[in-house]
């Protein structure tokens, strides 16, 4: 492996010796012939093609359906590391749900001056239509993907909180299934925490937030925009794994304040909708009148308490990048505790002083769109050309309130199979959290890896791949 030391190598210490969690994996890799991983990588690709595990890339001339590159070397997290991470994640998601309830009711955090009121109330992710309404169990964000990065042995940062419709959990599960097929002997030498229970936990979470959870049988559906959505495979995967119906807006209708699903027999009342479409398209009578994806009257049925929508409309304000800088304050305000996990220092370009600093240091920092995702609309200063920086400067000066900026973190790296053999590549981690009758955190999550040497962009839409994530049990 490369001996670069500008980042934390999760597998090797400063003496180039394997760290304890990776000891058995390092020995296993040493014993394998040169072409072993190449062959296993092809086997994994065959499995993914057979299963149809693809994602769509928008705005490209070539075929829009692609396989996400899969790296056959697992990322390993020790039991003690995971206990620290899960405690921090639990604290964070509880605080974010308390924040959502507060801003749609008494707005105490705004009145206390802990967050500028305009930053919330004038934000396009804030839905006034949710004011005064309390979802079942006071849970707004039922499914959260918390993006984490590591910069040293004991230092982790939260990059962002995905509280709208976080994706990728199907890849986490299929990665594990594929690894167990390809390397059963490697699993036998490790005690790896299971992830297979995620669909069962998701179903229990959704059932627990139904309008009447005491009903003996709940009707739950997964609402998808349709087959052309980039995450359609995941929508179908989760519906099938839970044993519930995958529906589009045209499959549902509202009658007498209740939501029904069309069937080959009589209509069936729906209790919970796990929606994978954006707020604006949920209901053309309340939001975007041109939407063909949603269900007319759905929001009124929701406000009447006759159906639960997961995640709740308006949760996007909690993962807005302008709000991100205030999450430590949010945690302290609602829990009375200091954050367990760090935030990345953030400059809000809507502030003149912050904007001036960002413009003076574009070559050294990362600039992101407030509402951007998927690695689009961002500038990574250290790897950008002078022309790219000059063009981005003009965009930033034209609309500064649309951007935040952060220092460039030296993301940790994990051993990754590349054309030249095994080399370190930068990674992040998205653990998946379910909040209903309790908080359920799947051990590990989805590790995304930047396959290009030196790249910090792990998004699949930007050429990144994925790894299986192993949390070791004590």
pLDDT one-digit tens code per residue, 322-376: 899 999 999 999 999 999 999 999 999 989 999 999 999 999 999 998 876 656 6
Tokens of 322: 């302008």
CB atoms closer than 10 angstroms to residue 472? 20
- The pLDDT value given to residue 375: 60
- The pLDDT value given to residue 67: 79
CA triple 228-230-233, angle to 5 deg: 85
CATH class of 345-407: alpha beta
CB atoms closer than 10 angstroms to residue 461? 19
Q: pLDDT digit string (tens) for 73-117? A: 999 999 999 999 999 999 999 999 999 999 999 999 999 999 999
Instruction: For the chain, list residues with pLDDT below 50.
Output: 1-5, 58, 60-63
How far, in Å, CA of 196 to CA of 174, rounded? Answer: 9
Taking a C-beta distance cutoff of 8 angstroms, is the pair 458, 380 a contact?
A: no
- The pLDDT value given to residue 373: 62
How far, in Å, CA of 62 to CA of 75, rounded? Answer: 32
- The pLDDT value given to residue 60: 47
- The pLDDT value given to residue 253: 98
Question: 430 - beta bridge partners?
Answer: 446
Question: In terms of DSSP bridges, do strands 465-471 and 70-77 run parallel, antiparallel, or are they unpaired?
Answer: parallel
Cα atoms found within 13 Å of the Cα of residue 351, Cβ hemisphere only:
13
Domain spans of the chain, in order of start: 20-211+307-339+409-471, 345-407
Cα atoms found within 13 Å of the Cα of residue 272, Cβ hemisphere only:
26
- The pLDDT value given to residue 370: 85
- The pLDDT value given to residue 2: 37
Question: 422 - beta bridge partners?
Answer: 417
Q: Is the pTM of this model over 0.95?
A: no
How far, in Å, CA of 148 to CA of 85, rounded? Answer: 9
């Amino acid at each position: 492996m490369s001996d670069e030391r500008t980042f934390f190598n999760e597998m090797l210490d400063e003496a180039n010796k394997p760290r304890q969690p990776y000891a058995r994996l390092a020995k296993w890799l040493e014993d394998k012939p040169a072409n072993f991983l190449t062959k296993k990588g092809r086997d994994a690709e065959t499995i993914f093609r057979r299963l149809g595990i693809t994602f769509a890339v928008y705005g490209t001339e070539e075929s829009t359906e692609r396989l996400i590159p899969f790296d056959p070397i697992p990322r390993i997290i020790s039991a003690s590391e995971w206990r620290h991470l899960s405690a921090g994640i639990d604290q964070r998601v509880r605080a974010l749900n308390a924040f959502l309830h507060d801003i749609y009711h008494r707005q105490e955090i705004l009145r206390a001056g802990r967050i500028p009121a305009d930053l919330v109330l004038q934000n396009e992710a804030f839905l006034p239509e949710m004011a005064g309404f309390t979802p079942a169990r006071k849970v707004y964000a039922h499914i959260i993907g918390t993006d984490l990065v590591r910069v040293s042995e004991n230092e982790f940062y939260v990059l962002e909180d995905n509280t709208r419709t976080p994706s990728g959990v199907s890849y986490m599960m299929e990665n594990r299934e594929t690894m167990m097929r390809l390397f059963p002997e490697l699993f036998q030498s490790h005690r790896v925490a299971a992830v297979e229970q995620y669909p069962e936990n998701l179903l229990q979470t959704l059932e627990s937030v139904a309008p009447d959870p005491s009903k003996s049988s709940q009707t739950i559906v997964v609402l998808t925009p349709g087959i052309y959505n980039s995450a359609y495979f995941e929508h179908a995967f989760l519906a099938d794994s839970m044993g519930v119906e995958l529906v589009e807006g045209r499959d549902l209708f509202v009658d007498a304040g209740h939501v029904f699903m069309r069937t080959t027999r009589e209509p069936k009342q729906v209790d919970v909708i796990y929606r994978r479409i954006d707020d604006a398209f949920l209901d053309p009578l309340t939001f975007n009148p041109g939407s063909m994806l949603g269900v007319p009257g759905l929001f009124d049925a929701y406000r009447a308490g006759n159906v639960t929508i997961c995640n709740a409309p308006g949760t996007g304000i909690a993962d807005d990048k302008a709000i991100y800088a205030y999450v430590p304050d949010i945690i302290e305000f609602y829990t009375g505790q200091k954050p367990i996990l760090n935030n990345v220092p953030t400059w809000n370009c809507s502030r003149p002083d912050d904007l001036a600093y960002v413009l003076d240091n574009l070559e050294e920092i990362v600039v992101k769109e407030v509402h951007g995702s998927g690695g689009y609309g961002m500038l990574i200063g250290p790897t950008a050309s002078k022309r790219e920086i000059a063009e981005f400067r003009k965009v930033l000066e034209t609309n500064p309130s649309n951007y935040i900026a952060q220092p460039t973190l030296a993301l940790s790296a994990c051993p990754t199979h590349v054309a030249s053999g095994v080399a370190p590549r930068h990674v992040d981690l998205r653990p998946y959290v379910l909040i209903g009758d309790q908080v359920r955190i799947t051990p590990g999550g989805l590790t995304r890896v930047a396959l290009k040497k030196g790249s910090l962009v792990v998004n699949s839409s930007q050429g990144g791949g994925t790894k299986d994530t192993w949390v070791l049990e004590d």
